Amino acid sequence: LPGSSPLLVTGGAGFIGANFVLRAIAEGRKVVNLDKLTYAGNLDTLASLQDNPLHVFVQGDIGDRELIARLLATHRPSAIVNFAAESHVDRSIDGPAAFVETNVVGTLALLEAARDYWKSLEGGAAQSFRFLHVSTDEVYGSLGSEGKFTEQTPYAPNSPYSASKAASDHLVRAFHHTYGLPVLTTNCSNNYGPYQFPEKLIPLVIQKALAGEPLPVYGDGMNIRDWLFVGDHCSAIARVLEAGQVGETYNVGGNAERENLTVVKAICALLDERHPLADGRRREALITFVKDRPGHDRRYAIDASKLQRELGWTPSQTFESGIAQTVHWYLDNQAWVERVLDGSYRMERLGQ
């Protein structure tokens, strides 16, 4: 991440945002980190930055246009990286309104504040300013057994989550075409790795498998996702920020299509090896098929060749190396997980 002026990162207490913030600061970049601290925001993840002057944490909402305007005027960032979102598909099925509120209305407020700030910049500062919007491959809908999503694939979101992300992508695009705002959009496949909230498939399965509990797998377990290690997603975002063409979108993927069942079995095998169950059972026997999620997309696969061809980015991890690192990280960081599971990660912010 070259450059010396600060970045405004939103959602930097969440899974991917925090990985990105930790990396940017390790590289010497100042980060103003705006996060509402919903259930998904976790300051424990940022504990190592507590006294680091490169990290300015602000609890707030991307929908608070006045707050954003103030932060932009005070810190004069050269880029905004927007991770803030409601991100869990199952929660969007139970309560879609919060997804529209943050992902659509919130992104709009952030864009308006960004546009006004960018218009106030002069010369080189205006030219080099970027608004990078982090989005998902779920906006493209579902694939059959053939083909991959490219940047030209028409949007066809199927869940309230992906519909709200699709809407935000369209607003970002419109702010470029209507107001000239220098935007970049990345659409990434499923991420996994350190600091992921244990409601998502991989950390959920690791926790349950460690405890010897049943491992819930939706439907027949044959849904396919393209898995990307979170560090590789962060390096892709940094690369797009550095060299992406304004107004373009870039697909980010790991070339790692796996059936959900294969992912769960890989975790079982890694845990059996490092941490066998006391009664000697193989963890695969814990797999339990549960009723499928409504509107569950069958297959996602990303064609990330544009990012590779134009910006020279490739993932550094294979699925096998990434999943092994991830399982080991969760084993080594059970205290972090425990504080999420027992809710104590939320107490600190309330001063309790």
Using CB under 6 A as the binding rule, whether residue 160 contacts ligand NAD is answered as no
Alpha-carbon distance of 40 to 335, in angstroms, equals 17
Residue 292 CB, nearest approach to ligand NAD (Å): 19
| Closer CB to ligand NAD, 236 or 266, in the complex | 236
177-183 LR contacts (CB < 8 Å, sep 24+)? 177/247, 179/115, 181/111, 181/114, 181/115, 181/118, 181/131, 182/118, 182/129, 182/130, 182/131, 182/246, 182/247, 183/130, 183/131, 183/132, 183/133, 183/246, 183/247
257 by DSSP, 3-state: which? strand
| Closer CB to ligand NAD, 15 or 117, in the complex | 15
Residue 273 CB, nearest approach to ligand NAD (Å): 26
Is residue 35 annotated as part of the catalytic site, yes or no? no
Residue 95 CB, nearest approach to ligand NAD (Å): 13
Q: Using CB under 6 A, which of the segments 14-22, 267-275, 299-307, 344-352 binds ligand NAD? A: 14-22
Q: Using CB under 6 A, which of the segments 128-136, 174-182, 254-262, 307-315 binds ligand NAD? A: 128-136
Residue 317 CB, nearest approach to ligand NAD (Å): 15
Using CB under 6 A as the binding rule, whether residue 45 contacts ligand NAD is answered as no
Residues 13, 43 contacting (CB under 8 angstroms): yes
135 by DSSP, 3-state: which? strand
Q: How far apart are the first and last CA of the chain?
A: 37
Residue 94 CB, nearest approach to ligand NAD (Å): 15
Is residue 137 annotated as part of the catalytic site, yes or no? yes
Q: Could you identify the residue written with the tokens 């299509």?
A: 257
The one among 87, 92, 255, 326 contacting ligand NAD by CB under 6 A: 87
**Count of residues binding ligand NAD (CB under 6 A)?**
32
Residue 318 CB, nearest approach to ligand NAD (Å): 18
Q: What mask, x for binding ligand NAD by CB under 6 A, covers residues 186 to 225?
A: --x-xx-----x----------------------------
Alpha-carbon distance of 125 to 238, in angstroms, equals 18
Catalytic residue among 161, 250, 330, 345: 161
Nearest partner of 192 among 181, 180, 200, 183, judged by Cα: 200
Using CB under 6 A as the binding rule, whether residue 134 contacts ligand NAD is answered as yes
DSSP H helix total and E strand total for the chain: 14, 12
Query: Residue 132, class by beta-carbon neighbours within 10 Å (0-12 exposed, 13-18 middle, 19+ buried)?
Result: buried
Is residue 218 annotated as part of the catalytic site, yes or no? no
Which pair of tokens denotes residue 114?
Answer: 């960004």
Using CB under 6 A as the binding rule, whether residue 136 contacts ligand NAD is answered as yes
| Closer CB to ligand NAD, 85 or 114, in the complex | 85
Q: Using CB under 6 A, which of the segments 58-66, 201-209, 263-271, 328-336 binds ligand NAD? A: 58-66
Q: How far is CA 168 from CA 113, 133, 297, in A?
A: 15, 9, 20
Residue 300 CB, nearest approach to ligand NAD (Å): 10
The one among 22, 24, 40, 71 contacting ligand NAD by CB under 6 A: 40
Residue 285 is classified by DSSP as G
Neighbouring C-beta atoms of residue 182, cutoff 10 Å: 20
Alpha-carbon distance of 140 to 126, in angstroms, equals 32
Q: Which of residues 170-189 bind ligand NAD (CB under 6 A)?
A: 188
Using CB under 6 A as the binding rule, whether residue 92 contacts ligand NAD is answered as no
Chain centroid to Cα 289, Å, comes to: 27
The one among 29, 35, 182, 239 contacting ligand NAD by CB under 6 A: 35
- Which residues 6+ apart lie within 8 Å of 59 measured at CB? 35, 36, 37, 349
Q: Which residues bind ligand NAD (CB under 6 A)?
A: 10-11, 13-17, 34-38, 40-41, 61-63, 83-87, 102, 106, 134-136, 165, 188, 190-191, 197
Catalytic residue positions? 137-138, 161
